[in-house]
Each structure stands twice: as C-alpha cells, then as structure tokens.
Amino acid sequence: MKKLVIVGAGFAGLRLARHLKNQALEIWLIDKNNYHQFQPLFYQVATSGLEPSAISFPLRKVFQKQKNIFIRCAEVSLIDTGAQHIHTSIGNLAYDYLVIATGAGTNFFGNAPIESNAMPMKSVSEALYLRNTILQNLEQALVVPEPQKAALLNVVVVGGGPTGVEVSGALAEMKKHILPKDYPELDFSKMNITLVEAAARTLAAMSEESSAASKRYLEKLGVTVLTNTQVTNYEGHVVHLSNGAQLATRNVIWAAGVKGNWLAGLPETAQARGNRIAVNRFNQVNGFTNVFAIGDIAYMSTPKYANAHPQVATVANEQADVLAKNLKRLLNGETIQQEFEYSNKGSMATVGRHLAVVDLPFLKFRGLLAWLFWMFLHLMLILGVKNKILVFINWMWKYFTFDQSLRLIIKPYHKKKI
C-alpha cells in the first residue's frame, strides 16, 4: 500500500486527509498540535469572546473510525527528497507521496526588536498569550503611578487587513461596554486604540466601498486609524512611526504580514516570494512529481493570479479538493489531469456589532445584513456540532448582555524544582 504523508493539519491538510480517508492508501497526518485550529476566530479568543476549545477540534476525533489514517504530534525539521523521508522530532518517516501544508506564520520583515516585543496572533496559544498580556496590563495599571498608566492601557494594532480590523473593533467594544465595569478605578477615556496600516486604506484587498466603510466603522467605535504609516521600531514601551510620531504602549498586536512556514531540505529553486513553495498547476513542487504543496505555503502563478493566490482558507480548501481527485487518479495508475484554478467566492470582515462588510462576486453589502452573514458563514465552517453550539451560545450571550465571561488570566504552570 502506498504511503501519503501530510505535513500540517490546517484547512488544506485536514480537508485532503478527509477526502482520502476511504482510499487504499496509508495516510500519516503530522502536526505539532493534536488539534485543528479555526484561524478566523483567533481574535475572539484574544479579546475574551471565545474559549480556545470552542475553535479547536481534536484531530483524533475527526478520524476515530478511519483505520488507514495515522496521526502523529511532531515537528518536521528536514525533508530528504532523495531518500523520500522526512526528519521529525519523533524520528524519520518514509513516504511515497508527500503533501506540504504547513501554512504561514507571522512576518516581522526582519525587524528584530518588533519580533521580540510585539504580539502575533497566528495560533491559539498566541491568542491566549495576547489575552493574558492585555488583561495583566490592566491589572498592573491599577497599582502603578498615574504617568505609567497610559502605556498599560493603550493598544496599537499593526496591519489593516481583516485580522487587524476585527481585533481593533473587538477591543473598542470591550473598552466601551465591559472594561469600565470590570475596572471602575481606571479612566478608559484615556485608553487609545490605534490601527496602523502601511497602505492607503484598510482592507486593501476588498472593494473601495468596503474599505471606506471599515474605516468609518472603526472610527465610529473610537479607533484611531492611521493609513500610509509604518511602524519602524518597538522595544517594548514606545511605538515609533514613519511619520515621526511616538505612541506609548505595552500592547502591540502585530497583524501586518505573513510568510510561508518553509521546510529545510527543499531546493532553493522551489522557493518563491514570501517564503512560499513554488508549485505548478497540479500543486506539484517545482522539480518533483510526488511532492506537493497546498494552502498558504503554495505559490502558484495562473493567468488569473499571476502573483499567486491570496492566502485564505477558501483557496486552501479548493486546492485540497483538486489534489484529492488527482491523487485518486495516481492511485488508479492514471495520470493527473485537473489543473487548479481558484473560484473566488468573495471576502468579508466584521468590525463590531451590526458592523461588517461583505464583497461577493455579484453583490456587495454592509452593516447589519453583512454582520449576520459573516456570523452564519463562520459558524457553519467550524468543525464539530458541540463547537458550533458553544460559539453560538457565547455570541448570543454577548449580544444580549453586552458582556463576555472569559476574561481569565491563565498563566503557564511551572513545576518547582526540589
């Protein structure tokens, strides 16, 4: 029986494994976590809107009844394409077919001080760390002298894409409805939430109408939006901007860019812009017939997308669908035939209560209807009936009470040495 190794259990890797679960194929799914993470809602974990378990789903539960799928929690350190095996933290693993679906991580653009001090949000654990930091800084603000309070209260969000816009809006709603009740001793009129975007507008990948609406919604919630502005330095206390301004803050959320999670061992000829892996229209890595890359890590140039596809979940899912069909053909002794072309179904972002924007290929709308559409679609995409119910209950509780009860500072446990 042929052996397929899938590295990464994000949207692309998980969907591919589910498509092939009943095939005459030995499938090994490798991920450093034992769960699948629903990335679009990380910001709600970071802002105390959802608990981590509501947007995470155990991989072993997904494949409980599948005898040909093996799951291992490990980190891959090297791909040996000559010997056809991968080096992992739990040993080497041979393959006949290899699919790389390692996704993308945070891109700090080579700025070491920012990387050391700003908070990314590309995993559940990072979202939890962000939540802990913001809440701990609020606790600290209660006991420090007045001149030190501003830096502990202020939040700077870097990056005006969907993640940056959504987390800024969520924090602004917390500032308005929740934090004054939790911390009556603090003056939240002095808390500034600033969104910094290097481009000329927020949500630059969406229509101009939606972009303008998102900026208008953010400002309505009290967020200061700075466009055509870059963060040049941040060493933990003061953000330095390209316009010469300086912002005192201990809370910098970095949502400004992504880069592919590259794996050592692949030839340099396979490396494309953004640290991604260059693939052909069948998602085969350049120079190989049995090594594939799908999802955010894959860089495919097509007539419609000369500079590669956007790094979003819908692209990852569609690439997994097409690759599954082609792998089935290979297993049957046939040649792969179906080329990939992305069918753009639209994009969306939410800013706050009744405030969202949706761009569909045939329609653009904003406001309450867009907000309801955004919630419904994300609820349907979450794995597991229990998770859907948990998310729905949390959303409804927050909607009717203007509150969320997950403002917990959960610190990592350190065992005392005796």
Quote the pLDDT of residue 410. 85
Assigned domain for 275 exists: yes
Q: Do 69 and 148 share a structural domain?
A: no
Concerning whether 209 is annotated as a catalytic residue, the answer is no
Q: Do 270 and 180 share a structural domain?
A: no
Listed residues 292, 307, 331: the one ending a domain:
331
Quote the pLDDT of residue 138. 96
Q: Do 157 and 171 share a structural domain?
A: yes
Q: Rounded to whole angstroms, how far apart are CA atoms 105 and 120? A: 9
CA dist 263 → 80, 159, 285, 369 (Å): 10, 26, 12, 42
Q: Do 241 and 159 share a structural domain?
A: yes
Q: Do 271 and 252 share a structural domain?
A: no
Tell me the per-residue pLDDT of 360-413, one tens digit each, with 9 for 90 and over: 998 999 999 999 999 999 999 998 888 999 999 999 999 998 887 778 888 877
| Half-sphere exposure (Cβ direction) of 315: Cα atoms closer than 13 Å | 20
Which amino acid makes up residue 214? Answer: S
Full DSSP string of 115-183: HHHSB--SSHHHHHHHHHHHHHHHHHHTTS-HHHHHHHH-EEEE--SHHHHHHHHHHHHHHHHTHHHH-
Strand partners, 366: 357
Assigned domain for 415 exists: no
Region of 275 (left: φ > 0; alpha: ψ -120 to 50; beta: rest) is left
From the list 51, 126, 139, 166, the catalytic residue is: 166
Q: Do 311 and 237 share a structural domain?
A: no
Q: Rounded to whole angstroms, how far apart are CA atoms 33 and 56? A: 10
In the chain, how many domains are there? 2
Output the six-digit token pair for 136: 């701990």
Quote the pLDDT of residue 278. 96
Structural domain span for residue 152: 115-256
Quote the pLDDT of residue 317. 95
Q: Do 286 and 233 share a structural domain?
A: no
Q: Do 211 and 84 share a structural domain?
A: no
DSSP state of 75: -
Quote the pLDDT of residue 267. 92
What global pTM score does this model have?
Answer: 0.93
Tell me the per-residue pLDDT of 210-234, one tens digit each, with 9 for 90 and over: 999 999 999 999 999 999 999 999 9
Listed residues 311, 331, 351: the one ending a domain:
331
Quote the pLDDT of residue 16. 96
Assigned domain for 374 exists: no
Listed residues 232, 256, 280: the one ending a domain:
256
Q: What is the CATH number of the domain that holds 125?
A: 3.50.50.60
Output the six-digit token pair for 397: 């509780």
Q: Do 214 and 194 share a structural domain?
A: yes
Quote the pLDDT of residue 112. 94
Q: Do 265 and 241 share a structural domain?
A: no
Assigned domain for 17 exists: yes
Q: Rounded to whole angstroms, how far apart are CA atoms 279 and 111? A: 29
Tell me the per-residue pLDDT of 9-49, one tens digit each, with 9 for 90 and over: 999 999 999 999 888 899 999 999 999 999 999 999 999 99
Angle at CA of residue 28, ends 23 and 33, nearest 5°: 130
Assigned domain for 404 exists: no
Angle at CA of residue 193, ends 190 and 195, nearest 5°: 150
| Residue closest to 210 by CA, chosen among 83, 346, 24, 321 | 346
Question: What are the two backbone dihedrals, phi and then psi, of residue 415, each rounded to the nearest 5 degrees?
Answer: -70, 130
Angle at CA of residue 103, ends 101 and 108, nearest 5°: 155
Q: Do 163 and 277 share a structural domain?
A: no
Q: Residue ranges of the chain with pLDDT lower than 70?
A: none
Assigned domain for 357 exists: no
| Residue closest to 232 by CA, chosen among 216, 217, 223, 245 | 245
Assigned domain for 223 exists: yes
Assigned domain for 410 exists: no
Quote the pLDDT of residue 65. 85
Q: Do 271 and 245 share a structural domain?
A: no
Q: Rounded to whole angstroms, how far apart are CA atoms 270 and 281? A: 14
